[in-house]
Chains A and B, each alone.
Chain A
Amino acid sequence: MVKKRLIACLDVAGGRVVKGVRFERLRDVGDPVELAERYSEVGVDELVFLDITASVEGREPLPALVERAAERLTIPFTVGGGIAGLEDARTLLQAGADKVAVNRAAFDDPALLTTLAAEFGSQAVVCAIDSRAGRVVTHGGRVPRESSAVDWAAAAVERGAGELLVTSIDTDGTRAGYDLELTGAIATTVAVPVIASGGAGESRHIADAFAAGAEAALVASIVHERPERVPELKAELRQAGWNLRS
C-alpha cells in the first residue's frame, strides 16, 4: 500500500522562509531551497511552499524560487498561496512544481478546479481548505464563508481536486494535536488523499490524524526548530504500526 506521508510546510515571504504567528512578527529563517534540501536529507517525504505574502499583499507567486527548487529537490513539492487562476497555476507547474494548492480562488470559483484538472490532471491539483469550527474561512482565516468544510471538501473533489490540504485554524499553532473531527469527517467523505494540517506537536498527534483517515500530515514548527526530529518522528510512527518510507 501507498505509505503515509510526513510533509514539511515552509512559509515563504519575499523569497525567504519566514516564521511568525498568524502573519505577524515575521522573521527570516533562511533560503527556501536550502531548508527544503535539509528536510529532504532528514527524510521528509514531501514539501509544501506556501507564499504567505501572496494573498495578503496581492503579490505574485514566485516562479523563480520554484525553478530553483525543481532543479535541486529530489522529492515532490507543492506550491500554494495566492494562486488566482489558470495562468498562475500554469506558471508554477511549468516552473517545476509537482502540484499547486489553490485555496480562495477555488472557493470563489469552483470551476477553476475543473479547468486545472482538465489541463494538468487531478494529481497536480490540491485544494487547500481552511476551517474554523467546521466552517470554511479564507484570507488566512480572517473571512468566514457560507459553507461547512465537509460540504466544500466534497464539492472540491467533485470538481476535480486530487488532494485536499485541510487546515484547522482552531488547532493551528497550538501543538495540541490536529483537528481530528474535521480531518475524520472529510477523509470519510472523499476518496482522494487528505493532508491533515494545524496542531502537530508530537508523533502521537500524527498517528491520530492517520487513524482518523489522513493519508499525510503537514508539520511546520516542530520540525523547523529541530530538523533531526523528522527521523525520530518517523521511527516513532513506525513503532506505532504506521507504514512510512524509510
Chain B
Amino acid sequence: MRVVLADYGAGNLRSVCSALARAGAEPVIAVDPEEVRSAPLAVVAGVGHAGAAAVGLGPLADALRGRAAAGRPVLGICVGMQLFFERSEEGGAGLGLLRGPVRRLRARTVPHMGWNTLDTLQPSTLLAGVDGADVYFAHSYAAEPEDEITTAVADHDGSIVAAVESGPLAGVQFHPERSGAAGARVLENALRWSRSA
C-alpha cells in the first residue's frame, strides 16, 4: 500500500522509508499537501527539534489536520508524534490534534537514549506482539496526554509515554525504523491498522 511521508526537512526520512518498504509498503516522500492529504496512510517522522519541525511543517499542517478530521490514519514517529499535541516546551505550538503538552524529561540522564522495554497498557493492533520487547528511544521531550490514549509506556526514572492511539492517530515515541525486529513488527502492524482505520 501507498504510504506518504510528510517531508518537512527534518531528515531521517530515508531510514523510515526503507523500514516501511521492508514492512511491505510503497513509501513515497512528499512535500505536496495534496499528496499528504490523499494517501491511505500518512507518516510524520523524524528526529529533530520540535520547534524547527513545527515551523517546517508549514502548509502540511493543514493537510494533516484535514486527514485527522476526516478520520484518515496518520502515524507519528518520535517528534512526529509530539507534533500531534498542543504545545512543546522545546518550541511552540503543535498541531493540537491531541490534548496535552510535550515536556522536557525529568530523568537523571537526558536524553533518554537507547533500548528500553515497552510496557503495553492496553491491547492494540499497533502494538500486537511487542509487549515486553526492547525498542530504541532517542529523545529529551515526551508527550503528557490529558486523555486516556496511552497504549504503552517505558520506564526511565519514571513512566514515559511510548505510544498513543486515538481514532485515526497513532504515535510512537521510539524509533521503529531503528528497533530491530520489534520495530519492524510495529510498522507491519501500523500498515494493518491503517487499512482497518
Contact = CB atoms under 8 A, between A and B. Distances in A.
A75 B15 contact: no
**Dominant secondary structure at the B interface:** mixed
Given A76-B178, A121-B79, A191 B109 contact: yes
Interface stretch (B33-41, B60-68, B113-121): B113-121
A118 B53 CA distance: 11
Interface stretch (B69-77, B133-141, B189-197): B133-141
B32 interface: no
A179 interface: no
A30 to B, nearest CB: 22
Interface residues of A, number: 40
Interface string B70-95: 00000000010000000000100000
Contact of B18 (A71, A95, A99, A117): A71
B113 A98 contact: no
B56 to A, nearest CB: 11
Given A215-B114, A216-B114, A193 B136 contact: no
A1 B116 contact: yes
Contacts, number: 124
Contact of A98 (B108, B155, B178): B178
Contacts of A76: 136, 138, 175, 178
B183 interface: yes
Interface residues of B, number: 42
A23 interface: no
A118 B178 CA distance: 23
A37 to B, nearest CB: 12
A125 B49 CA distance: 11
Given A72-B18, A121-B49, A3 B138 contact: no
Nearest to B108: A191
Interface of B: 11-12, 14-15, 18-19, 47-52, 79, 90, 108-117, 134, 136-140, 154-157, 175, 177-181, 183-184
Interface of A: 1-5, 40, 45-46, 67, 70-76, 90, 93-96, 98-99, 117-124, 162-163, 191-193, 215-216, 245-246
